[in-house]
Amino acid sequence: MHIPGLGMIKNGNYEVICGVAQDAPPDRRAREQPPSQARDSGSDHQQRENGEPWSRQSKGLGVHCAPPVQSGPGGAAGVSETADMSQPMYWDRLDIPMPDRPYKDVLTGEDKSLKEKEKGPWNALTKEEKIALYRLTFCQTYAEMKRPTNEWKTIFGGIFIFLGFTGLVIWWQRVYVFPKRPRTFDEEWQAKQLKRMLDMRVNPVHGFSAKWDYEKGQWK
């Protein structure tokens, strides 16, 4: 095992140079392989020459070679297609005025003639042509990006619908689900309960009855 910068690790049928698994020469495989493993090397080599995907893990190295996962319509089932973030992308953002690529990268014949006219003096261009040239590069202006939207109407509408539905549920529960209020919540019952507690002199020192003047018949 030799691991300085461009070192080499030998193990069985593979040589790892800078982290890449490579086949060892056939004569070296024949010398280093046991007879039981020598029978399998020919089929693996033939399979790789035919372009078939293969996966094999070398002993003690953890080197695993597998076919790449394909995405898109022709890929494996259950694999969704994702955007290639390595390619230039377009966006409209206030903090990044210059996107990676123009908004319209596929030009028509009229667009191409307008781009050729752009190379000349700009005072020869009309206002409509200048706006069309801007729209080829950008989708929105700063004024359009800063312009308020009507999204607040949708938000407030959803809030009021939710509050109205909640009120209907509470009303339905009070009318059809909850029982009637107990009689102990009536004012007449509470007045009688108060007089009874005063007659029983409940907490006469520092509590309830201590705040009542029994001689005058009123609260102190």
Q: What is the pLDDT of residues 48-82, one digit of tens each?
A: 444 444 334 333 333 333 333 344 444 444 455 67
24 and 32 in contact (C-beta within 8 Å)? yes
Query: What is the reported pLDDT for 27?
Result: 52
CA distance 152 to 158: 10
Query: What is the reported pLDDT for 31?
Result: 52
CA distance 92 to 98: 9
Query: What is the reported pLDDT for 134?
Result: 93
Query: What is the reported pLDDT for 57?
Result: 38
Query: What is the reported pLDDT for 79?
Result: 54
38 and 31 in contact (C-beta within 8 Å)? no
Residues recorded for the chain: 220
Q: How far is CA 107 from CA 46, 102, 122, 194, in A?
A: 48, 11, 20, 89
Query: What is the reported pLDDT for 171?
Result: 96
Element containing residue 212 per DSSP (H, E) = strand 212-213
Query: What is the reported pLDDT for 202?
Result: 92
Query: What is the reported pLDDT for 48?
Result: 44
Q: How far is CA 42 from CA 21, 48, 136, 170, in A?
A: 17, 10, 58, 78
| Tokens encoding 39 | 């029978």
Query: What is the reported pLDDT for 80?
Result: 59
Name the residue among 103, 82, 83, 84 with its Cα closest to residue 92: 103
CA distance 42 to 158: 69
pLDDT per residue rounded down to tens, the chain (220 residues):
444 444 444 444 444 444 444 444 545 544 555 544 444 444 444 444 444 443 343 333 333 333 333 444 444 444 556 778 888 889 899 998 889 999 998 899 999 999 999 999 999 899 999 999 999 999 999 999 999 989 999 999 999 999 999 999 999 999 999 998 899 999 999 999 999 999 999 998 988 889 999 988 899 8
Query: What is the reported pLDDT for 46?
Result: 47
107 and 115 in contact (C-beta within 8 Å)? yes
Q: 3-state class of 12 per DSSP?
A: coil
Query: What is the reported pLDDT for 84?
Result: 81
112 and 104 in contact (C-beta within 8 Å)? no
